[in-house]
Structure 1
Amino acid sequence: MGARGELFTTQIVLENRSYFFNVKENRTGDVFLQIVESKNKNGEAFDRHQIAVFAEDMQKYLQGFESALSFIQKHEKEKQKLDAQKKQAKKAVYRSKAKEADSLKETPAQSGAPEVKRTGRIHIVSKRK
């Protein structure tokens, strides 16, 4: 047995947090899982929180954890679906506005004005007579 009754330890390091999963045994021989979150506070100190789950409660804990995880996954899928629908609706509105603008444009033949040939060059005409 390791220091402080540790039987097994693993660590997960993220950007500004670390999670420790420690399997420990107390003085009376009860085995439990200790989950510790350690968060860096402005490089000065660490904010540390922990929970303990005893072996006899582990199955109920895991059931609750799994149901929460499945809810999160379902919620994320629904969110992605809604985002895709919003994006499609936005594209449809843009396309309909573009078609409407194209249909409202008058061609020179419709307006009765002579057709102007666009060459890309600037031609300045004096208005003096």
Structure 2
Amino acid sequence: MFGHFRNKLSHYLQEQLEIKGKKLKEKQEAEKQRLEEAERHRLQQMELKKKERMEKMKKVQEARQAKIKALADKHQELEKKSQQKAESSSQAQERKIREEKERAFFTGNRSCMKLKRDGKKTNNCD
């Protein structure tokens, strides 16, 4: 008689152990899936942040390039203006020298013209 109860009790305890084992496995599996999902989410967030940083860096780089280009264009424009001023002032100077030479030539004062051409002082030639 005790053998029969012992057998039933052993069988009952075995079933309870199996049930607890299944529940534990299910719980472990659920935890494992939760952790995997959390890891996937974390990786996605990191990837998203990385993309955002890259886009931000790209925008900053584009802004820097635009600034550099604007400064280069401004510098080039100023260079052109100064070159044009230098050309116009040198043309005006050449015109002035040419007029003086013509005036000196037509007034018959060739010695003054020669002095001016050589870059010497021409005090009493005017």
Range into which the TM-score falls when normalised by the shorter chain = 0.3 to 0.5
User: 1 or 2, which has the higher strand percentage?
Assistant: 1
Instruction: Compare CA radii of gyration and give the structure with the larger one.
Output: 2
Larger RCO (CA under 8 A, 6+ residues apart): 1
